[in-house]
Amino acid sequence: MELQDLKFQGIKINYLYVCKRKLWLFSKNITFENQSDKVLLGKVLHEYSYPKEDAKEVLIDNLIMIDILSDGAVREVKYSSRMKEADIMQVMYYLYYLKQKGIEKQGIINYPKERRKEILELTPEYEQKVKQALSEIEKITSQVTPPPATKQKICKSCAYFEFCWG
Amino acid sequence: MQKTLYITSNGRLRRKDNTLYFETETEKRSIDIENIEQIHIFGEVDLNTKALNYISQYGIILHFYNYYGFYAGSFMPRKKNVSGDVVVRQALHYLDREKRIFLAYCFVESAVYHMMRNLRERKEAEAFLNAIEDEWENGRFNISSISELMGLEGRVRNIYYSSFNQFLPEDFYMEKREKRPPTNPINALISFGNSLIYSTVLTEIYHTQLDPSISFLHEPSEKRFSLSLDISEIFKPLVVDSVIFKLLNNRQITLEHFDEDLNYCYLNQEGRRIFINELRNKLETTVRHRQLNRNVSYKGYIRLECYKLIKHFIGDQVYSPLKAWW
């Protein structure tokens, strides 16, 4: 399969860096996010942050959902910076995706609760990393069985905690 | 934890603006819709599509019971957690004979384990406990079909039920287990409790990706949601029977809590209230889970059982049924 053809929702790039098992389960629609308080907090944050922005939750190609589009930047809003690497890769993927369509943008990650933001440019190195990530997602999600659970610190606050460890 | 609401009085469920009310002739109570998972309706309750639509927005399931307290059916909102992958693999475990027997056996094994657990502490039932153990140990390694397994389970269950006469009050003597319809108080209690567990399990299944109509011990054609029957086997002795023992031995439920019709016997409204209250307490009781290192309620253990089945179907972890270790 050509790399150009690999298209995934942004959240999958994020999960690739957070937990490969979660990525696999999510790709099979085995999801528990709708029952998680943490996810609800995130939703509320998205809803109430940046009320003045008009272009919120912009869906592109019925595939990737951009939190906010403003001032020539793609903005992603996150609850905490605990998973910064995953957040950065998610935004890099958006920038890469848009670039394929001939649109060049800057990326911003907002952590409103921490009053912090990250400004991102899609460098050739990151472009390479995004491509690798995409083929890795393809590899993981086409496995017949999920990657085994591995205990991490973040498991405790994950919506899948009881599924993986119960 | 998401709550369960039991409505035993008559009245109306009404949506007014963005609040759900339960109105009776004398009072009007608002329902905390955000925190309700399921509503069991025993009374004569009116509701309209406006209320149903509102209820389904929150993914709340309604279980209905008739005048006699028999389960009538459920209103389940459109399912949100659908995974074609899980359903296909669940079906594969039904179609493969070996795989199906494995799961069916697991449910029975856990049920028998919990039956024996219930009798273990009772001196009066020791002989029955031994009889069950003999029957089970002799039979369980020679099972080559579901019907043989069902037969063994039936024999074990007969011994189990006949032991009840040894430690329950005399008023609740049981000749044999009768289902449709129960003709004496103890059978009425068992039937009532089992149907409550059935619908509670159904609610838990609904919140997962499992398909409630593909079952293993019971035939999928037997009832619409027969997976709920399968999983209920585990929790009937663990939850319902221990509630019954407690209520009867503490004389919280006595013969005055039953009404008898021509050849029915059923709990009256007061009896139902007492039973439901005790069952609710039981389902909300928590036990420390050893792997999760968290307190999990009995209801939570039902959910975990569903998770274990999903993990079994997707080839992640072989199913091992709950055997209460506490």
CATH class of B3-65: alpha beta
Please work out, in degrees rounded to the nearest 5, the angle formed at the alpha carbon of residue B221 by the alpha carbons of B217 and B227.
45
B153 belongs to an annotated ligand binding site: yes
How far A92 CA lies from chain B's nearest CA (Å)?
A: 29
Strands B265-267 and B258-260 turn out to be: antiparallel
Q: Is A123 on the interface with B (CB under 8 A)?
A: no
B87-96 burial: b if 16+ Cβ within 10 Å, else e: bebbeebbee
Q: CB of B197 within 8 A of CB of B267? A: no
ipTM attached to this prediction: 0.88
Mean pLDDT of chain B: 91
Cβ under 8 Å to B: A residues 6-35: 28-32, 34-35
Instruction: Tell me which CATH code domain B84-313 carries.
Output: 1.20.120.920
How far A32 CA lies from chain B's nearest CA (Å)?
A: 8
Checking phi first, is residue A27 left (phi over 0); if not, alpha (psi -120 to 50) or beta?
alpha
Given this model, what pLDDT does residue B261 score?
79
Query: In chain A, what's the furthest Cα-to-Cα distance?
Result: 47
Tokens found for residue B227: 């997976």
Give the strand order in the sheet containing A73-77.
A56-60, A64-70, A73-77, A106-111, A116-120
Given this model, what pLDDT does residue B306 score?
97
Q: What are the sequence ranges of the domains in chain B?
A: 3-65, 84-313
Given this model, what pLDDT does residue B185 score?
87
Name chain A contacts of B207, Cβ cutoff 8 Å: 35
Using CB atoms, which residue from A145, A148, A163 is nearest to B307?
A: A163
Name chain B contacts of A160, Cβ cutoff 8 Å: none
Using CB atoms, which residue from A31, A163, A166 is nearest to B289?
A: A166
Q: CB of A8 within 8 A of CB of A134? A: yes
- Which alpha helices (H) appear in chain B, and where do they start and end? 49-57, 84-95, 97-120, 126-139, 146-167, 185-206, 226-235, 242-249, 269-284, 298-313
Question: B209 and A145: CB-CB below 8 Å?
Answer: no
Q: CB of B4 within 8 A of CB of B40? A: yes
Question: A28 and B292: CB-CB below 8 Å?
Answer: no
Q: What is the DSSP code (8-state) at residue A56?
A: E
Tokens found for residue A113: 């609760």
Please work out, in degrees rounded to the nearest 5, the angle formed at the alpha carbon of residue B42 by the alpha carbons of B37 and B44.
115
Is the bond into B181 cis (omega within 30 degrees of 0)? yes
Size of interface A-B (CB pairs under 8 A): 48
Q: CB of B89 within 8 A of CB of B314? A: yes
pLDDT tens per residue, range B124-181: 888 999 999 999 999 999 899 999 999 999 999 999 999 998 888 888 887 777 777 7
Given this model, what pLDDT does residue A3 score?
47
| Spatial CB neighbours of A155, under 8 Å, sequence gap ≥ 6 | A149, A161, A164, A165
Give CA–CA dist B205/B262, Å, rounded. 37
Point out the residues of chain A with pLDDT beneath 70. Answer: 1-6
| Spatial CB neighbours of B309, under 8 Å, sequence gap ≥ 6 | B90, B103, B210, B231, B319
Which chain A residue's Cα is nearest to B80? A34
Q: Contacts for B15-21 with beta carbons within 8 Å, 24 or more apart?
A: B15/B50, B15/B51, B15/B54, B20/B51, B20/B54, B20/B55
Q: How many CB atoms lie within 10 A of CB B71?
A: 18
Tokens found for residue A36: 């998680």
Given this model, what pLDDT does residue B321 score?
97
Q: Computed from CA positions of residues B4, A41, A24, A101, in that sequence, does the dihedral angle turn out positive or negative?
A: positive
Name chain A contacts of B300, Cβ cutoff 8 Å: 162
Torsion of CA B265, B270, B272, B275, to 10 degrees: -120
Given this model, what pLDDT does residue B287 score?
96
* Phi, psi angle pair for A15, to nearest 5°: -65, -35
Q: Is A36 on the interface with B (CB under 8 A)?
A: no
Q: Tell which of A23, A24, A25, A151 to mutate to test the B interface (max B CBs under 10 Å).
A: A25
Angle formed by the axes of helices B298-313 and B269-284, nearest 10°: 60
Tokens found for residue A30: 């085995």
Q: CB of B77 within 8 A of CB of B207? A: no
Name chain B contacts of A29, Cβ cutoff 8 Å: 81-86, 209
Using CB atoms, which residue from B80, B83, B292 is nearest to A165?
A: B292
Angle formed by the axes of helices B185-206 and B242-249, nearest 10°: 140
Name chain B contacts of A145, Cβ cutoff 8 Å: 314-316
Given this model, what pLDDT does residue A5 score?
54
pLDDT tens per residue, range B83-133: 999 999 999 999 999 999 999 999 999 999 999 999 998 888 889 999 999
Given this model, what pLDDT does residue A4 score?
52
Tokens found for residue B33: 């819709």
Given this model, what pLDDT does residue A53 score?
84
